[in-house]
Amino acid sequence: MRRRQFLLQTAGLAGTTAALGLTGCSASKDVKLHLLVASYDKSIGASLSDQWDAVAAAFEKQHAGIRIELERVSYTKIDKTLAQRVEEGRAPDIAQSNIFAPYAEDGRLYDMSQLFDIATQADFIRSFTDAGTVRDATYGVPFLASTPRLFYNKELFRRARISGAPTSWDELRASAQALKAIGVKTPYGLQLGPEAAEDEALSWLLAAGGGYTSELAEYDFVKPENVEALTWLRDELVAEGWRVPTP
């Protein structure tokens, strides 16, 4: 078999990301495909890991002579594991990860046009597909995404005499102040912890008209809008104690 990988990238505006890598094989019997996937704990969707067995079994049933060798790695280690395997020359045939661009630039990956017909390519959500594109070729194939959400306790809002969900940063801060005043220990759960902090940060940057990249699609972290967003977050929400103790 001539080995060449591709990656499937999970893309979202501010959601979980995941990537898969695949080896191309010549048509033959008794082919084994090594599938490396992320394993999640119960708090963030263990059922996703469980579904891989069913996917592998269904594929093997439809493709006689091809066997799927499934390997699960903790989602916190999946990127490092994939990079190590590639460096050692033991790249999996299919791998789920957050990273695909370096492998695409090294010529290791198939692009989407080599893997799917036009109808299938058109069926993907455009913004997700764009996030997996490098130099006009899509290597990161959408696989999963999560949606950030703001939810609130209606009873606590009633007791604090807050009329409804905040629709601006100032209203968010005012709501947090009102909740603190009635004894709510943690008025706002700022999600800047070990899980997907980059997604939470991006939502704040986008709200101020910023983001991680410039109009030329180059990284630009210090644009004025980003500075404005993070300065407000630091001074008006974090410093004042309206969020979790260790965001």
Q: What is the 3-state secondary structure (H, E, C) of the chain?
A: CCCCCCEEECCCCCCCCCEEECCCCCCCCCEEEEEEEEECCHHHCHHHHHHHHHHHHHHHHHCCCEEEEEEEEECCCHHHHHHHHHHCCCCCCEEECCCCHHHHHCCCCCCHHHCCCHHHHHCCCHHHHHHCEECCEECCCCCCCCCCCCCCCHHHHHHCCCCCCCCCHHHHHHHHHHHHHCCCCCCECCCCCCCCHHHHHHHHHHHCCCCCECCCCCECCCCHHHHHHHHHHHHHHHCCCCECCCC
Q: Do the strands 7-9 and 19-21 form a parallel or antiparallel pair, or are they unpaired?
A: antiparallel
Instruction: State percent of the chain over pLDDT 90.
Output: 41
CA nearest neighbour of 80 among 194, 93, 88 = 88
Stretch 183-194: mean pLDDT, rounded?
86
- Looking at residue 46, its pLDDT comes to 55
- Looking at residue 28, its pLDDT comes to 52
Domains of the chain (ranges; CATH) run 7-138 (3.40.190.10), 154-238 (3.40.190.10)
From residue 181, give the alpha-carbon distance in Å to each of 14, 175, 177, 243.
32, 10, 6, 14
Stretch 210-216: mean pLDDT, rounded?
87
From residue 215, give the alpha-carbon distance in Å to each of 103, 209, 220.
24, 12, 9
- Looking at residue 6, its pLDDT comes to 37
pLDDT beyond 80 at 185: yes
pLDDT beyond 70 at 187: yes
Give the H/E segment covering residue 84: helix 78-87
Contact between 237 and 243 (Cβ < 8 Å): yes
What pLDDT band is residue 224 in, cutting at 50, 70 and 90? Answer: very high
pLDDT beyond 60 at 26: no
| Alpha carbons 161 and 234: distance in angstroms, whole number | 26
pLDDT beyond 90 at 180: yes
Instruction: State percent of the chain over pLDDT 70.
Output: 82
pLDDT in tens, 107-136: 888 888 998 999 999 998 888 888 888 888
- Looking at residue 15, its pLDDT comes to 34
pLDDT beyond 70 at 19: no
| Alpha carbons 112 and 132: distance in angstroms, whole number | 10
